[in-house]
Structure 1
Amino acid sequence: MPHRPLARALAALVALFTAALGAVFLPGTAQAAATVNYVALGDSYSSGVGAGPYDWSGCLRSQKSYAPLWAAAHSVTSFRFAACGGAVTADVIDDQVAALSSTTTMVTITIGGNDAGFADVITSCRFGSTSTCTDAVNDAKAFATATLPDRLDATYAAIRQRAPNARLIVLGYPRLFETTSCGWLAMSVYKRTILNEAADLLATVIAGRAGAAGATFVDTRPYFAGHGVCGADPWIRDVSGVIEAYHPDADGYRYGYLPALTSVTG
């Protein structure tokens, strides 16, 4: 008789432990815990420009971009690829956030480079004089510090509004150049240096606004170190294609962007 309360307590403890194990290993529960509804937003650095081949959407989306590669490797519940080459912050707000919903659990984005005039700056430096390049870079840096922050804030807020339950991951841009010698047709070391400095400033601005929005910022520059234009093993295209110039190639997305994203998601 005196032992019955203890026996009942032990039995209750065993039942509780068994129920807990059942909750952990029950197939439906495990599937619910692993649910990932992923939406990839952003510009050409997310759509996969430079990797090819592209779909027929007009957005130059490639399955070799980091977003579909990540989705394939993680067996996501759903994946929507809304990133579009040439996109600016207004395009994300006006068009791309429509892909989001309250069931979205993860959002990635690269944005801001086109707002700051990425294409015009690169063109000015690649084909213009040193002074033309310097002026273009300085204009872009001024825009990045004075105007871009508000645009990024509005973009991240729009994402939060449409996908309040999602983790927002903001990926930065790589440095495009190595400053080693790479032939007389290449841009000068000075031009490459100031372009890299502009990339550093852009990374600082984007990281700051992402942090203010409660998003996770992923700095991709370390992952591309040594693999810029003029490197021994470049993952950034030079002027090999008008549209693809100065974008990552397939290796850049697979070995640069994808590991960078995986570093914060597992």
Structure 2
Amino acid sequence: MRLSRFAATTSALLLSATLALTGAGAAHSAVRDATPAYTALGDSYSSGVGAGSYDSASGNCKRSTRAHPALWAAANAPSSFHFTACSGARTGDVVASQLGPLNASTGLVSVSVGGNDAGFADVMTTCVLSSESTCLRRVSEARAFIADTLPGRLDGVYDAIAQKAVNARVVVLGYPRLYKLGGSCFGGLSERKRAALNAASDQLNTVTEKRAADHGFTFGDVASAFNGHEICSGDSWLHSTTFPVAESYHPTAAGQSRGYLPVLDSVL
């Protein structure tokens, strides 16, 4: 019994000494590992159009509680969360109206932008309503813009983010391919139209990834995450033509939670 008491007392003293020696380091570790202030920028693929459950206060920006930024913030409890992504946003809109929350205390920024600059809505409208040749010509125009003009516009956004959020880790998220080729759809767009649209998405991602890398940012490839869940896959995480029309060709709630969110998690 005396030996047991001695051992217990000795163990307690050793534990107290260990805590005294390591307590400061543990406290610093806790601060270092705390989830940083997070700001989510970008277009409708970041705001969550198509996922439903929109915050009425966000108006036409249609920020969804089911969008990947909101889901990530709910799961990780950042020290602050600013959600400024907005439906229809182009690169100039991000710079002009979304960067307000960024400062030296911002630890994490996510952004998806560029699709609207390339005329995403007009391309899809043209391809849905017009002939194959007209669709392919419009896609070709969009691809020329992506190659020649979009890189400079992305640089403008990324430079502005880097200047304001000097200590932040920046994650640039891409776009999914819209269609599974040779899939289960037997109507609607022709296979050539679908292939052309997918090729444009691939080019958009390639250009975006290169510009992100040149700024030291991390690129999140969602195309691979959506593989097998495109339109015509039989298990789509993307809306086809739907109502409201503005939700067409956008991720569903599943696309946000099972496509975008895991990619954001994985790169972090």
Superposition TM-score, scaled by structure 1 size = 0.90
Which residue is equivalent to 2:99? 97
SS at match of 1:194: helix
- Distance of aligned partners of 1:33 and 1:183 in 2 relative to their CA distance in 1, 3 Å threshold: closer
> Can you give the 5+ residue segments of structure 2 that lack an aligned partner in the other structure?
1-15
Structure 1 vs Structure 2 CA RMSD:
1.8
Cα distance in 2 between the residues matched to 1:16 and 1:104: 37
Deviation for aligned residue 1:32: 4.8
- Once the two structures are TM-superposed, the CA of residue 215 in structure 1 deviates from its matched residue by 0.3
The 1:29/1:179 distance shift into structure 2, 3 A limit, reads closer
Report how far residue 181 of structure 1 moved: 4.2
> Is the aligned partner of 1:204 residue 2:206?
yes
Which amino acid in 1 is paired with 2:203? L
d(CA) in 1 for partners of 2:21, 2:164: 35
Shift of 1:98: 1.1
The residue type equivalent to 2:150 in the other structure is L
Contact 2:225 2:263 in 1 (8 A): yes
Whether 1:262 and 2:262 are equivalent positions in the alignment is: no
The residue aligned with 1:124 is: 126
Whole-angstrom distance in 2 between the partners of 1:183 and 1:194:
16
Report the CA distance shift for 1:180/1:22 in structure 2 as closer, same or farther (over 3 A): same
Name the SS of the counterpart of 1:52 in structure 2: coil
- Residue 39 of structure 2 aligns with an amino acid whose one-letter code is V
| Aligned residues with identical type, % of pairs | 49
- Cα distance in structure 2, aligned partners of 1:20 and 1:192: 63
Aligned amino acid, residue 46 of structure 1: S
Distance in structure 1 (CA, Å) of the matches to 2:230 and 2:171 = 23
Structure 1 counterpart SS, 2:111 = strand
Q: 2:44 matched to which residue of 1?
A: 44
The count of aligned residue pairs is 251
Matched position secondary structure for 2:210: helix
Structure 1 unaligned runs (5+)? Answer: 1-14
Matched residue SS, 1:224: coil
Q: Give 1:63's match in structure 2, choosing from 65, 69, 73.
A: 65
Match of 2:253 in 1: 250
Could you tell me how far apart the structure 2 residues matched to 1:110 and 1:199 are?
13
Matched, 1:21 2:17: no
Normalising to structure 2: TM-score of the pair? 0.89
Amino acid at match of 2:123: V
Q: Give the residue type in structure 2 aligned to 1:263.
A: S
- Find the aligned partners of 1:20 and 1:149 in 2 and give their Cα distance: 52
The superposition leaves residues 36-93 of structure 1 with CA deviations (integer Å, 9 ceiling, x where unpaired) of 1000000000000000121222201001000010011112111000000000000000
Question: Secondary structure in 2 aligned to 1:223?
Answer: coil
Letter in 2 for 1:53: S
Give matches, 1:75-90, under 5 Å: 75-90=77-92
